[in-house]
Amino acid sequence: MNMHLSLGILAVGMLAALPSAAADLHRKEATEIAKEAYVYGVPMVSDYSTIYAFSVDTKGPEYKGPFNSVLNIARVFTPKDKGFVTPNSDTPYTFMGLDLRAEPMVITVPEIEKDRYYVFQLMDLYTFNFDYIGTRTTGNGGGKFMIAGPEWEGEAPNGVTKVIRSETQFVNVVGRTQLFNPGDLDNVKKIQSAYKLEPLSVFEGNEALSSPKTDWIRPIAPAEQKTNPKFYDVLAFLLQFTPTHPSETDIRARFEKLGLKAGEKFDVAALSPDMKAALADGMKQGQKEIDDLRATLKGDSANLFGTREFLKNDYVARAAGTQMGIGANSKEEALYPIYERDAAGAPLDGSNGRYTISFRGGDFPPVNAFWSLTMYDMPSQLLVDNPIGRYLINSPMMPSLKKNRDGGLTIYIQHDNPGPDKEANWLPAPAGPFMMAMRYYLPKEELLNGKWKSPEVDRAQ
């Protein structure tokens, strides 16, 4: 065979192995689209890691059970729990991973005493908090709530309290039931045992329908999500479960120019070195946009979580929220001031600092439920193991905390035990970098409008 002809056939074969749209892009445009796709996809790719660990990877350490089942964790989280970053350790969790491809699911909630806070946060694959069941939104009187996917058409049967529609075929339901104190755990277990989840067909007295079989793609380890170009393959896989929203027609069309097509494999290995470099540059530039926004927030994450209507397709904000603490509530449900630096602007570090947070004169956070301050290691953003097994200080602990003379409270934040006179108020820190999350559940108006300010972290002299 002619040498030139052989090389020509080889070149055509190599082009055919590439995502066809990507082969026609110039490096600059490919980088720009890769950046947009990275920022857009960070929440979905991160969320999928949790979905896969909890509901797909049956042999994994974080597996909680199949889709469309209820997992009650009748305890608070500890450092052994590593399924997602910045977990709370205030409220025993109830998890439900919904697969809505076959039919809607019905969540049954029992009547709960009026002074106990509970919530079921409904988060879609985009990580939008698209609706809530709980004390604030539906009350403590109980009910039956039907969650339907984007393609379901039908009418709700009698007995359904409310129909809630999801944009995506998969939904994370994160339930939290308030625990007043360790002796209250049996009461929480009783409530959790009455939470029920069933397919609509079963609710109506018929057999459950089956979801299609899926060839699940392996997720990217959290440590690699900012740099591994397989990110784009995972994103392409996930797009098949998220029908294009009318406001996103243009951006999804741009993704296809890069070769990112819903449900089709994005073969990174087949790309040219130039295109691989474009992906790497796009990820780097996208992450810089996220980091730049995060730096301006100074720990205020209130506007990073909510519905699509609230976020107005601000993809950078949505991605920043994911990396600060995926699965956080919308601000009406809870506020999450994040402490990453002290009052002087220095990063928090248990190896060279002792810190305090003070509520002076009894001026405690104005909430309708409760508040807490939780410690996390950096960069893992997981709970911190310590000799006394304390991962937070919260308002239900108030009777056991030592008050100041003015009725206020000082929390001592350090790696070493501060001594017997301060240990009651000690929040143990790691011997290295750390962050903390304040949580205000059911914040009152003065918190929402900013009139009440969170105290700063002071470094002890």
Question: Which residues make Cβ contacts (< 8 Å) with residue 58, sequence separation at least 6?
Answer: none
The count of residues in the chain is 461
Please tell me whether residues 175 and 237 are part of one structural domain.
no
The neighbour count for residue 250, using CB atoms within 10 Å, is: 8
pLDDT tens by residue, 69-108: 999 988 888 888 887 788 888 889 999 999 999 999 999 9
Assigned domain for 173 exists: yes
What span, in angstroms and rounded, lies between the C-alpha atoms of 244 and 253? 10
Q: Are 176 and 221 members of one domain?
A: no
Domain-embedded: residue 133: yes
Contact 156/203 with Cβ under 8 angstroms?
no
| CA 155 vs CA 62, 147, 148, 163, 351: distances in Å | 36, 12, 11, 9, 60
Nearest to 29 by CA among 278, 284, 289, 315: 278
**Which candidate, 167, 148, 147, 146, places its Cα nearest to that of 158?**
146
Residue 86, pLDDT score: 87
CATH number at residue 98: 2.60.40.1610
Least confident range from 14-28, 133-147, 305-319: namely: 14-28
Considering only CA atoms, which of 327, 439, 325 is closest in space to residue 378?
325
* Residue-level pLDDT at 24: 60
Whether the per-residue pLDDT at 17 is higher than 80: the answer is no
Structural domain boundaries enclosing 24: 19-51+216-315
Could you tell me what percent of the chain has a pLDDT over 70? Answer: 95
Are 274 and 22 contacting, i.e. CB atoms less than 8 angstroms apart? no
Mean pLDDT of 435-449: 95
Same domain, residue pair 364 and 254: no
Q: Which of 177, 203, 229 is the last residue of a domain?
A: 203
pLDDT higher than threshold 90 for residue 130? yes
Tokens of 252: 């999804």
pLDDT tier for residue 159 given thresholds of 50, 70 and 90? very high
Whether 132 maps to a domain, the answer reads yes
Q: Is residue 441 assigned to a domain?
A: yes
- Who wins on pLDDT, 79 or 110? 110
pLDDT mean over 405-431: 96
Round the average pLDDT of the chain to a whole number and report it: 92
pLDDT of residue 260: 97
DSSP line for 233-260 = HHHHHHHTTSPPPGGGHHHHHHHHHTT-
Of 217, 222, 220, 228, which is closest to residue 84 (Cα–Cα)? Answer: 222
159 and 296 fall within a common domain? no
What pLDDT, on the 0 to 100 scale, is given for residue 325?
85
Asked which of 173, 203, 233 is the last residue of a domain, the reply is 203
> Cβ distance 45 to 236 under 8 Å?
no
Q: What is the DSSP letter of 219?
A: P
Q: Does pLDDT of 432 surpass 60?
A: yes
Q: What's the predicted TM-score (pTM) here?
A: 0.84
pLDDT of residue 10: 38
Q: Are residues 234 and 193 in the same domain?
A: no
Domain finish residue from 203, 233, 252: 203
37 and 65 inside one domain: no
What's the confidence (pLDDT) of residue 83? 77
Contact 93, 175 (CB under 8 A): yes
Per-residue tokens: 112: 């709960």
Total structural domains in the chain? 3
What pLDDT sits at residue 374?
Answer: 96
Do 107 and 176 share a domain, yes or no?
yes
124 & 170 share domain: yes
> How many whole angstroms separate alpha carbon 262 and alpha carbon 191?
40
Using one digit for the tens of pLDDT, what is the confidence trace for 378-412?
Answer: 999 999 999 999 999 999 899 999 999 999 999 99
Angle, helices 27-55 vs 273-297, to 10°: value is: 70
37 and 160 both lie in a single domain: no
Q: Are both 72 and 184 inside the same structural domain?
A: yes
Is 78 inside a domain boundary?
Answer: yes
Q: Which residues pair with 371 in a beta bridge?
A: 440
Task: Please state the rounded mean pLDDT for residues 45-68.
Answer: 93
Evaluate if residue 49 carries a pLDDT over 80.
Answer: yes
Return the pLDDT at 8.
42
- Domain assignment of residue 8, yes or no: no
Whether 65 and 114 map to the same domain: the answer is yes
pLDDT of residue 75: 87
What pLDDT does residue 22 have? 55
Q: Is residue 255 part of a domain?
A: yes
CATH of the domain at 432: 2.60.120.1600
Q: Look at residue 281 and tell me if it is in a domain.
A: yes
- The count of other CB atoms within 10 Å of the CB of residue 63 is 16
Say if CB 203 and CB 118 are below 8 A apart: no
Picking from 24-33, 163-172, 411-420, which range would have the lowest pLDDT averaged per residue?
24-33
Q: Are 248 and 376 contained in the same domain?
A: no
pLDDT digits (tens, 9 = 90+) for 197-238: 999 999 999 999 999 999 999 999 888 999 999 999 999 999
